[in-house]
Amino acid sequence: MKYKAIALDLDGTLLNSKKEVSNKNKEIIMKAAKAGVKIILASGRPVPGIKKIAKQLHLEEVGGYILAYNGGMIIDCKTGEVVRRETIPEKYYADILRCANKFNVATLTYDSEGIISNDENNQYVQLESKINNIPIRQVFHLDEEAQLDPPVKFLCVGDHKVLRNVEAKLNEKFNGTVNVFFSEPFFLEIMPQGIEKASSLEILLGSLGIDRKHLIACGDGFNDIPMMRYAGLSVAMANAQDETKEWADFIAPSNDEDGVAVAIEKFIELN
């Protein structure tokens, strides 16, 4: 089988435990790109947090795609074209903030540069900044600020028990019109319905004229399972969740052992 595209999760997959792209992974990904393989960085991270990785891989030169927010936004790295963008309806912003404020939890979203939040000193807002290596901008009226660049995602952050109350209130308020879920015990995500990596890959591959049987998907987490089920070949890292491994055609070495490079060298013919 000749594979024409590879979708790479970032945290726990392409990035090692230090949140870095190893020299080996970088070298082999660059070879694959030069051989004509479409490189797709598919992550739950926001766009600013993925752009730094794309730049390290020179995807603006060799070509590649950012699939951010678990697929809520797709960007062509070479042209800057936005292939897909699904945003939260503006009419919900004030209700999200009102609910979070009622339970005294911080809220954040993103602009083109990084995080915007109503509590820049909150430990979990700081953690999201550190994870993605992006700056925080303090704002007083987050709902009004968000209207300037409609977001794909809001994040309510704090103690899990308190966030469970926020989750219940938001679900009661929105009645399934938006997706409210925990990505971490301290991160409650609010996103448009129907966003996940597989459906976004289907849109992207359709625009590229690539059949899914020619796609490799590499991941480690539960949110990678849909794209692994969708792809022609699924690869799980040795450090992946057990359930994720069950969907893998191949178990690669861990993210600290250049597992992505090993998978590419095994399944893609490099020039």
Confidence at residue 222, expressed as pLDDT on a 0 to 100 scale: 86
- Write out the DSSP string of the chain: ----EEEE-TBTTTB-TTS-B-HHHHHHHHHHHHTTPEEEEE-SS-HHHHHHHHHHTTHHHH--EEEEGGGTEEEETTT--EEEE----GGGHHHHHHHHHHTT-EEEEE-SSSEEES-TT-HHHHHHHHHHT--EEE-S-HHHHHTTS--S-EEEES-HHHHHHHHHHHHHHHTTSEEEEEEETTEEEEEETT--HHHHHHHHHHHHT--GGGEEEEE-SGGGHHHHHHSSEEEEETTS-HHHHTT-SEEEPPTTTTHHHHHHHHHS---
Residue 1 predicted with pLDDT over 80: no
Residue 270 predicted with pLDDT over 90: no
Fold assignment, 90-192: 3.30.1240
Confidence at residue 184, expressed as pLDDT on a 0 to 100 scale: 86
Mean pLDDT calculated for residue range 185-190: 93
Mean pLDDT calculated for residue range 249-266: 97
Confidence at residue 194, expressed as pLDDT on a 0 to 100 scale: 87
CA dist., res. 20 & res. 222, Å (int): 21
Confidence at residue 177, expressed as pLDDT on a 0 to 100 scale: 92
Confidence at residue 183, expressed as pLDDT on a 0 to 100 scale: 85
With bands split at pLDDT 50, 70 and 90, how would you rate the model's confidence at 14?
Answer: very high
The backbone torsions φ and ψ at residue 141, rounded to the nearest 5 degrees and listed phi first, read -125, 85
Confidence at residue 3, expressed as pLDDT on a 0 to 100 scale: 95
Query: Is the CATH number 3.40.50.1000 carried by domain 5-85+195-267?
Result: yes
Please check whether residue 85 is in contact with residue 101, taking contact to mean a CB–CB distance below 8 angstroms: no
Q: What is the pLDDT of residues 203-252, one digit of tens each?
A: 999 999 999 999 999 999 988 999 999 999 999 999 999 999 999 999 99
- Listed by start position, the domains of the chain span 5-85+195-267, 90-192
Confidence at residue 176, expressed as pLDDT on a 0 to 100 scale: 87
Confidence at residue 269, expressed as pLDDT on a 0 to 100 scale: 86
Q: What is the pLDDT of residues 31-80, one digit of tens each?
A: 999 999 999 999 999 999 999 999 999 999 999 999 999 999 999 999 99
Residue 271 predicted with pLDDT over 80: no
Confidence at residue 180, expressed as pLDDT on a 0 to 100 scale: 92
Q: What is the pLDDT of residues 77-122, one digit of tens each?
A: 999 999 999 999 999 999 999 999 999 999 999 998 999 999 999 9
Q: What is the pLDDT of residues 137-152, one digit of tens each?
A: 999 999 999 999 999 9
